[in-house]
Amino acid sequence: MLITQLKSKETIEALAKGKTVIINCHGCKEVYFPEQEAAELQKELSVGGNVTEIITRDYICNPDNLRFQLKKFEDKIKDADTVLVFSCGVGVQTVAAFLEDKKVFACCDTCPLPGFQGVTPLEFDCGQCGECYLNSTGGICPITACSKSLVNGQCGGAKNGRCEVNKDMECGWERIYRKLEKLGRLDTLKYEAKVRDYAKPFKESKDEG
Amino acid sequence: MEDYTKFKLKRAEELIPLLADKQNIFIVACNKCFKEFETFDEPECGEFERLAKEQGKTLTGCAKVDFLCNKTTTAKRLQSVLPAETENVFVISCGLGIQTVADLVEKPVFAASDSIAYRGKHGMALTKTRCDACGQCYLNLTGGICPIVDCSKSLVNGQCGGAKNGKCEVNKNMDCGWQKIYERLEKQGLLSDFLNQPVQVRDYSKVNFKLINEYVKSVREKRFDGYYGGIHPSEHKEYSEHLSLKNFPEVKTVVIPMSQHAGAPAEPIVAVGDIVKVGQRIGEAKGFISANIHSSVSGKVIAVEPRPHATNGSVMSVVIESDGKNTPHESVKPAGDLDSMTSEQIIDLVREKGIVGMGGAGFPTSVKIKPPKPVDTVLLNGCECEPMLTADHRVMVEYADDIIYGLKALLKASGAEKGIIAIEDNKPDAVEIMQAKTANIDNIEVVVAKTKYPQGAEKMLIKRVLGRSVPSGGLPADVGAIVSNVSTVKAVSDAIKTGMPLIERVVTVTGERIKNPGNYVVKIGTPVKALVDYCGGVTSDDVTIKMGGPMMGFELKDLGVPVMKGTNGIIAIEPVAAEPSPCIKCGRCADVCPMELKPLYFTKYAGTENWQGFKDQNVMDCIECGCCQTICSSKIPIVSMIKIGKKAIREGK
């Protein structure tokens, strides 16, 4: 689940060369896909008559589903010079792998969605650091709630509870302090200084790639 | 299938000191997401329980929760399970779940697990394909192979030169990403394009967190607006929303089914050869929950026999050949002045004139407006949240006075004090007219609701407009409300003003595969085929025709079936086939279910005929809105599985 943004109109126009088939993915639309903007842009691209098909499906990141859904358009795709994909990077790569011989282009840039999870965006984020600090911090994450990801207390730069990096943000460490104070557990903060092991998440990950 | 599980239990060496000074422990474990969905218990909770017991700890209990990061459902669950004597809460989950619990519970919350990095694993299909969400997609330069994740050094200008025999020097199990890119581009004849590209510099500031945070905030707001969940399907109301109502031309033969409503079918009271007139009763309600049926034309009854029906296979129907004169029946005469009518008279008239809910379900209106409990509000549903349909929209724009008159009749009949007309914000013209027409009426108000499907469902609308929650298994009257569709009250108004029963209705004929969309006043009994043909037919043989909207409509195999009291649309759309794959527990269905159910369980239980499981997951609360099925990343036909479960439970299994 990711956020997709359209690439600039000029970029997309330059990509649409020759007969073009467009594939839209609406799978994560409820999270974020610029449906209206994409539709308008595709209308403009269609004016010249080179867009031979606009296909809108969901979850094209699932290769089986993609194959099944594109079957109907086999001839149009075969005939096309270019396939433009409006989806996240996973979707584009899945299409590119399936249509190995075709020029498959991405029309979106993909941005991370805070807190990749089963449900729609939460106000919390998890940095997947692999060494959960929440036990020392009253359940408020210093990696994501502190803009400097400090693990041993505040930097001292906050003013009136606001972060010096981002004034819209509360100082994470002040929040941690207040939460622990409320729970009567301020002594928790007397832990030995921690050193963050940046390699840890990768050691733990099953990710071989 | 890949497994994107994002956490693992911390090691005993770390957990034992953490447990040392703590007693009265409650354990919350997340049932994990993004893995093949099985209904057995995940082992972590048991492992931690054992460890805590070995350390001589007292446990106050444990809870295994699906989608712990879903704050709405988790809050409810924790409220009901957390014993008062608990002093410390331990959570086994990814960092999101732990923070959610820490935020909800007033007690100290501890993490018993660490989150694992899952770099780039963002697909909704648990594939090996990854995306690092760098915000500056390079795939257009690299033949659709990602240099950020497929090159272990994330180089964007070509290979490092360290690969041996096509294998990466960092990780020998991995193919060199740049070699793959080279081969793909060579095959496509695009090598020179690539080599002529200027040097790429990666811009790490490209990901605009501020923008993303704003999106996230707006998505959250949309999700919780009015009621939990719901979706925003592509609406395509533009095909027909601007088209004024037209009378559909007379057809020669109408087929009027005796079952067009919820409850018992009506009994035909005419015989072959009888001459009937417009508005004459031809079917009599059988029982309390049933409805009268009237002739929509004048002419001769040529058959009384079972005929194909849109939803029920074959249903007893009266077939009438029209004489084209439309002579009204003697019973069709004004009922009098609303002010002088009693509540009983209105209810009787509504029953006599065969008026049923015209939003689709067809519940007899006379039963609805005589609720078993006192009600304070009549809510008129002008949301028309189904995509494509514009029938109610046009009725509101063109028959605003009738709707207000009908609403007044319902207020009088039910004894409610206040009338509210709820309209979604995608119909600004209807909102404007209704607001203007009700400006001087004290007890009638127009509420504009942000568009979200299924807002038109009774329970959602009550929650959205009145902020009241209909209890599980309850009726709107339990929270003092009646909900009625705008077209239905227009029919009530007609019945009072002219005495005409419900014999015609507005039908939207639309969809991307219909030649000339339109909104028509159509006589009940008109075959669907006549409508499709009149609108120029379909533009392609590759088409699905549905009665109703794309979300809750019924696919029609036989276009000979007639338009009924609940037929708000006929749509011709592109068929989208689906090939279901196993549930990956992505949680989207639980995320969008407006009734706050967990539809994923039904997909498991239907296969194993686990009827008790269906009951435990409150299947009877499901309103069959189809949000879960629409959003399902595995394309599972969830609604049909739910129907199987409901049917079994109704049969007493």
Q: If DSSP codes are grouped into helix, strand and coil, which group holds residue B221?
A: helix
> Could you tell me which chain A residue has the CA closest to the CA of B111?
A135
Residues of A in contact with B633 (CB under 8 A): 27, 58-59, 62
pLDDT reading at A118 higher than 60: no
Quote the CA–CA distance of B392 and A24 in Å, as a whole number.
31
Backbone angles phi, psi at B178, to 5 degrees: -70, -30
pLDDT confidence of residue B119:
67
Mean pLDDT of the B205-218 span: 76
Q: Does B69 touch chain A (CB under 8 A)?
A: yes
pLDDT confidence of residue A129:
77
Are the beta carbons of B94 and A126 separated by less than 8 Å? yes
pLDDT confidence of residue B393:
97
- Interface subset of A 25-64, CB within 8 angstroms of B: 26-32, 35, 57-59, 61-64
- Min mean pLDDT across B48-52, B124-128, B151-155, B527-531 is at B124-128
pLDDT confidence of residue A208:
41
Q: Does B219 touch chain A (CB under 8 A)?
A: yes
Among candidates A82, A60, A81, which has minimal Cα distance to A70?
A60
Among candidates B301, B284, B238, B291, which has minimal Cα distance to B488?
B291
Are the beta carbons of B145 and A96 separated by less than 8 Å? yes
- Please give the share of chain B, as a percent, with pLDDT higher than 90: 73
Quote the CA–CA distance of B125 and B579 in Å, as a whole number.
13
Which residue did the predictor score with more confidence, A188 or A32? Answer: A188
pLDDT reading at B311 higher than 80: yes
**Mean pLDDT across chain B, nearest whole number?**
92
- Min mean pLDDT across B217-226, B328-337, B528-537 is at B217-226
Mean pLDDT of the B125-130 span: 76
pLDDT reading at A117 higher than 60: no
Q: Does B117 touch chain A (CB under 8 A)?
A: yes
Mean pLDDT of the B154-170 span: 93
Quote the CA–CA distance of B575 and A68 in Å, as a whole number.
13
pLDDT reading at A206 higher than 50: no
- Min mean pLDDT across B182-196, B335-349, B602-616, B623-637 is at B182-196
Q: Does an H or E element contain A21, and which?
A: strand A20-25
Which residue did the predictor score with more confidence, B4 or B256? Answer: B256
Q: Look up residue A95 and give its DSSP letter.
A: H
Task: For residue range B170-188, list pLDDT tens digits in order.
Answer: 989 899 999 999 998 898 8
Q: Helix B486-497 to helix B343-352 angle, to the nearest 10 degrees?
A: 100
- Domains of chain B are 7-115 (3.40.50.2300), 245-332+503-573 (3.10.20.600), 338-497 (3.40.50.11540), 588-650 (no CATH)
pLDDT reading at A1 higher than 60: no
Are the beta carbons of A97 and B33 separated by less than 8 Å? no
CA B518 to chain centre: 25
pLDDT reading at A16 higher than 60: yes
pLDDT reading at A142 higher than 60: yes
Are the beta carbons of A185 and B171 separated by less than 8 Å? no
Quote the CA–CA distance of B233 and B211 in Å, as a whole number.
24
Q: Which residues of B292-312 are buried (b: 16+ CB within 10 A; e: fewer)?
A: bbbbbbbbebeebeebbbbbe
Task: For residue range A82-95, list pLDDT tens digits in order.
Answer: 999 999 888 898 99
pLDDT reading at A209 higher than 50: no
pLDDT reading at B557 higher than 90: yes
pLDDT confidence of residue B83:
93
Quote the CA–CA distance of B325 and B297 in Å, as a whole number.
8
Q: Give, rounded to a whole angstrom, the gap between the first and last alpha carbons of chain B.
A: 35
CA distances from A138 to A178, B35, B168, B653 (A): 9, 29, 42, 48
pLDDT confidence of residue A4:
84
Mean pLDDT of the B17-28 span: 92
Q: Can you tell me the ipTM of this complex?
A: 0.85
CA distance A208 to chain B (A): 8
Are the beta carbons of A29 and B232 separated by less than 8 Å? yes
Task: For residue range B44-96, list pLDDT tens digits in order.
Answer: 999 999 999 999 999 999 999 998 888 888 999 998 899 999 999 999 988 88
Q: How many CB pairs under 8 A join A and B?
A: 275
> Could you tell me which chain A residue has the CA closest to the CA of B95?
A126
Are the beta carbons of B140 and A30 separated by less than 8 Å? no
CB atoms within 10 A of CB A45: 20
- Domains of chain A are 3-111 (3.40.50.2300), 134-204 (no CATH)
By 3-state DSSP, what share of chain B in percent is helix, strand and coil, each rounded to 5? 30, 20, 50
- Nearest CB to B108: which of A62, A115, A183? A183
pLDDT reading at B566 higher than 80: yes
Among candidates B108, B187, B106, which has minimal Cα distance to B143?
B187
Are the beta carbons of A139 and B99 separated by less than 8 Å? yes
Mean pLDDT of the B477-495 span: 96
Q: Judge whether B482 and B488 are in contact, CB under 8 Å.
A: no
pLDDT reading at B609 higher than 60: yes
pLDDT confidence of residue A120:
54
pLDDT confidence of residue A157:
93
Are the beta carbons of B102 and A140 separated by less than 8 Å? yes
Task: For residue range B385-429, list pLDDT tens digits in order.
Answer: 999 999 999 999 999 999 999 999 999 999 999 999 999 999 999
Q: Does B96 touch chain A (CB under 8 A)?
A: yes
